Chains A and B, each alone.
Chain A
Amino acid sequence: MDALIEIKNLRKSFGKNHVLKGVSLRLRKGHNIVILGKSGIGKSVLTKCIMGLIEPDEGEIIIFGNKMGSIDDTELDKLRQKIGYLFQGGALYDSMTVRENLKFPLRRSRRVIGKSQLNDMIHEALENVGLLEAIDKYPGELSGGMRKRAGLARTLIVKPDVIFYDEPTTGLDPVTSGEIIDLMIDIQNKYQTSSIVITHDMKCAKLTGDEIKLLKDGVFYAEGSWDELKQSADKEVQMYFK
């Protein structure tokens, strides 16, 4: 199995709005892809299609060798446990503390974990994102950056093979944004995860991506490494590198 995730000719429309018009990509082990594009262009729709949160109109999605649509809900749930997803706003459960938020995906994975091991895992995940002091706080008591960190800790705790980052630095100040980018790089190096990063933050794209794909008009308009795209003569591409 060469590719962890493979997408072939994915299409998705919402009414007359054709968001994705034949998108294809391959994510290999240890590979990090950044998807760049303007707001509302369909970047999040693409990742939500991959995760099975939105049903595509056409195309093939193959995750860890399993073709989406041909597997049942139980198998889909198992596959999802190998993938972490950091949502734009953190998507922490409001009614739970940070500790309970981290406990939740572990309990749901139905793995047999002892109480002390569970606590160790929670502490380790929070230490990794530097948020141990907020362990018993509710999401409402956290700042935007802390919410993202907590979301990242919740993503990491299940030790995923692939992580999707949906606008990881949006809405954060430059310092916090820099800290989140450093964390993402640490995670890539420490856990050898593959990732798909959706962003329009060029610093984030440069530092976290091995390959950059520019989504425009429902297709990948340009693809390549940071340096390759930076040297592109195409005006559309150059707009991002000004």
Chain B
Amino acid sequence: MRTGIQRIVDSLSLFLIEIGSMTGFTIKIFRQFFRPPLETKEIVRWMYVAGAKTLPLVGITGFIMGLVLTLQSRPVLVNFGAELLLPSMISISIIREISPVITALLCAGKISSGFAAEIGSMKVTEQIDAMEVSGTNPMGFVVASRVLATTIMVPILVIINDAIALIGSYIAASMYGVISFRLFFLEAIKVLSFTDVIPATIKTVIFGFFIGMIGCYKGYNAGHGTEAVGIAANSAVVAASLSIFIIDLVAVQVVELLL
């Protein structure tokens, strides 16, 4: 019994140490944002990697998401004679919640794990040390540039995902009846208000920061050997995904309180 409690206490203290260490890492990243030189070339490079290379995955997922959501929602709305509400319902659910969370989860799986694996192997092969001894701060060159890139690119990917999901939804809706593209989008956009779009977008900026930060943190703190790289990549996906749900939960509560 005592061992069980002891184990819980140990796990809890390890968790708190990890949170503390992650907070320290975040502070260091923020410091780098304001410390010259600004790694413009690296930031653009990682924006391309995080954005352009993730776009096909996000696009296909968004299209299927819109299509499936419409196909599943339509029969219920038809039963209530509310088929006209379909575009509005789809747009609100996609823009407010589904698209930001799904896109962020995809990015956690693709970008966060990639960062963790790459930085982890840089650590194992002493590339980070080599950078440091050549007078380059790896926190700026390797970490801050990646984190800034995801912070910028994840919201853009979410916006693109929103648009593609709505196109998918329109295609699904037009399979069952005649509805013009213009009318569908007018109905979809008409219902959206400032309080739907802005909080959802701010949330994605935070998602982007955490996706980059957790990937870099896990890679930077990877242990020794190739096995450690795999563990870092794996735990980056788990931690980033979990953080997305926690941030989402907090964001919903904050928006409820403020509006």
Contacts and interface: CB of A to CB of B under 8 A. Distances in A.
Q: Which of B127, B129, B133 counts the most A-chain CB atoms under 10 A from its CB?
A: B133
A87 B126 contact: yes
Contact count band on A: 20 to 34
Q: Chain A binding site: helix, strand, loop or mixed by DSSP?
A: loop
A153 B250 CA distance: 52
A73 B132 CA distance: 11
B135 A91 contact: no
B135 A85 contact: no
B58 to A, nearest CB: 24
B125 interface: yes
B79 to A, nearest CB: 56
A221 interface: no
Interface in A84-130: 85, 87-89, 91-94, 104-105, 108-110
B216 to A, nearest CB: 15
Contacts of B135: 77-78, 80-81, 105, 108-109
Contact of A53 (B121, B132, B136): B132
A209 to B, nearest CB: 22
Given A73-B137, A77-B137, A93 B127 contact: yes
Interface string A32-43: 000000000000
A53 B132 CA distance: 8
A88 B126 contact: yes
Contacts, number: 55
Contacts of B130: 85, 87, 91-93
B17 to A, nearest CB: 15
A101 to B, nearest CB: 9
A53 B133 contact: yes
Given A73-B137, A77-B135, A81-B134, A94 B127 contact: yes
Contacts of B133: 51, 53, 80, 83, 85
Interface string B137-161: 1000000000000000000000000
B229 to A, nearest CB: 13
Nearest to B141: A108
A108 B130 CA distance: 12
Contacts of A109: 135
A25 interface: no
Contact count band on B: 10 to 19
Interface in A8-51: 48, 51
Nearest to B41: A107
Contacts of A83: 133
A83 B132 CA distance: 12
Nearest to B135: A77
Contacts of B125: 89, 91, 94
A80 B132 CA distance: 8
B134 A53 contact: no
Contacts of A93: 122, 127, 130-131
A14 B173 CA distance: 64
A158 interface: yes
A49 to B, nearest CB: 12
A53 B134 CA distance: 12
A91 B123 CA distance: 10
A91 B137 contact: no
A224 to B, nearest CB: 29
Contacts of A110: 37
Contacts of A94: 121-122, 125, 127
Contacts of B137: 73, 77
A80 B134 contact: yes
Nearest to A79: B135
Interface in B52-90: none
A96 B129 CA distance: 16
Interface of B: 37, 121-122, 125-127, 129-137
Top-4 shortest CB links A-B: A91-B130, A77-B135, A105-B134, A91-B126
6 contacts: A53-B132, A73-B137, A91-B125, A94-B121, A105-B136, A154-B134
